[in-house]
Amino acid sequence: MTPFPLPLGELLGHWPSYIVYLVIGFAFGYVLEISGFGKSTKLAAQFYFKELTVLKVMFTAIVVGMLGVFLSTALGVLDYNLVWVNPTYLWPGIVGGLIMGVGFIVGGFCPGTSLVSAATGKLDGIFFVLGVFFGIFLFGETVGLFEDFWNSSFMGRFTLMELFNTSTGVIVIGVTIMALAAFFFAEQAEKFIGGMNLAQFGRWRYGAAVALVLVAAVVLTIGQPTNADKWEAIAATQQPRIDTRAIYASPGEILDLMEDPRLIVELIDVRSETDFNLFHIQDATHLPLADVLDYASELQARPANMLIVVLSNDEAAATEAWRILVAESVPNVYVLEGGVNQWLDTFSDETFRTAHKLAAREPDQLGYRFEAALGARYPAADPNPDVFELEYTSVVELQIKRGPSSGGCG
């Protein structure tokens, strides 16, 4: 089964896909309105523990969305690496959350619900939206004064799994139980502080709670696909690229691309530290093969014009690194054809090759002898492209990455 998100733009075309977005947006706003989320008094009541509908709705959305995503990934239907997760900026996020929370209490709306209220002609919603626009304008005019703080404490795609260093299934179970506990205490607050009759909610909610726990247990039991599982799912389409050598870019092509101002080329050197210290290409990043999988999440966040080239002494270790990264949905990954040895064959002078090239070597062994660990302080590490006129067949084709979608509260 091939994982997806669904490419509506490719299936329906650019403008027809907007019809789908419009229907989803209208339905979302309609549900918020009929649920009473267009009324500031209903929204503000949660802060007085009289009516906690907002908390229950948001936690329900979080849990149902979480279970849907991770059950789909467990079954191989969805690729979680292609799901946009807002990057974490810890301290700016905390400060922004506090500011928004105060605004929520004072105004009775969050940005999304204020638009619903304004759309139905409520004056408080209209004034809140005007305040939002003014705040956006004010932020845009002043962000330069605190830009360093705004971009500080960047943690990338940081999830609870990384925070607690545990499996997805454990987090899914924990969040589900936490949500159900929040529902229970919310209802008790509504009963004793808000004077609500809990019988109005019906007994079906107990069955729904059990269903959530059961689905969470299924996610925990099945587990998430490993890198090997992901490769197996795409091997039918990706292995032929290896067999036809469509992933191996020649040293000449890589050198030309490194000089292209429109591209950012990141060289990932997966060799041993000893070989890397003896010789490596200028600006290459040393990343042992055992650490490639952990580094994949960082590479996923690279800009759309980033080309990633993995290299080893020959091609074996680099090809394995390529499999790992492609299985993790990292785009625009290629292997340096012939590895570092072919790079040295191509860009070192004849005197160097005669004096340092080994007559015999093991597979994926450095094919040159270096008397000192000078790293990139050899001429071949940073060759001048104007000196070499190389003919090659181009294989690099940059994929267009999907742009990040925005998020926010309902």
The per-residue DSSP string of 116-161 comes to HHHHTT-HHHHHHHHHHHHHHHHHHHHGGGSHHHHT-SEEES--HH
Confirm whether 233 is domain-assigned: yes
Tokens of 93: 């996020």
> What tokens appear for 26 in the block?
């209208």
Q: In this structure, is residue 398 part of a structural domain?
A: no
Residue 405 domain-assigned (yes or no): no
Question: 102 with 243, same domain?
Answer: no
Element (H, E) at 255: helix 251-258
The answer to whether residue 271 is domain-embedded is: yes
One-letter amino acid for residue 281 of the chain: I
106 and 210 assigned to the same domain? yes
* Structural domain range at position 302: 228-381
200 and 302 share one domain: no
One domain for residues 182 and 296: no
Task: Going residue by residue through the chain, which has 410 residues, state the pLDDT in tens, using 9 for 90 and above.
Answer: 555 556 777 778 888 888 998 999 999 899 889 888 899 988 888 888 999 988 898 889 999 999 999 999 999 888 888 888 888 999 999 999 999 989 888 888 988 899 999 999 999 999 999 999 999 999 999 999 999 999 999 988 889 999 999 999 999 999 999 999 999 999 999 999 989 998 888 899 999 999 999 999 999 999 999 999 999 999 999 999 999 999 999 999 999 999 999 899 999 999 999 999 999 999 999 999 999 999 998 888 788 889 999 999 999 999 999 999 999 999 999 999 999 999 999 999 999 999 999 988 899 999 999 989 999 999 999 999 888 888 899 999 987 654 444 445 54
Is there a domain that residue 351 lies in?
yes
Domain ends where: 177, 203, 227? Answer: 227
C-alpha span between 149 and 168 (Å, rounded): 31
Are 204 and 257 within one domain?
A: no
Which CATH number covers residue 363?
A: 3.40.250.10
Same domain, 96 and 130: yes
CA distance 335 to 321: 9
Assess whether 24 and 142 both reside in one domain.
yes
Number of domains in the chain: 2
Q: How many CA atoms lie within 13 A of 116 on its CB side?
A: 25
Alpha carbon 91 to chain centroid, angstroms: 20
| Same domain flag for 221 and 262 | no
Find where tokens 């006129």 sit: 389
Question: Do 333 and 242 touch, CB atoms closer than 8 A?
Answer: no
Measured between alpha carbons, how far is 47 from 59 in angstroms, rounded to an integer?
16
Both 94 and 43 in a single domain?
yes
Which 3 state secondary structure label does DSSP give 215? helix
63 and 166 assigned to the same domain:
yes
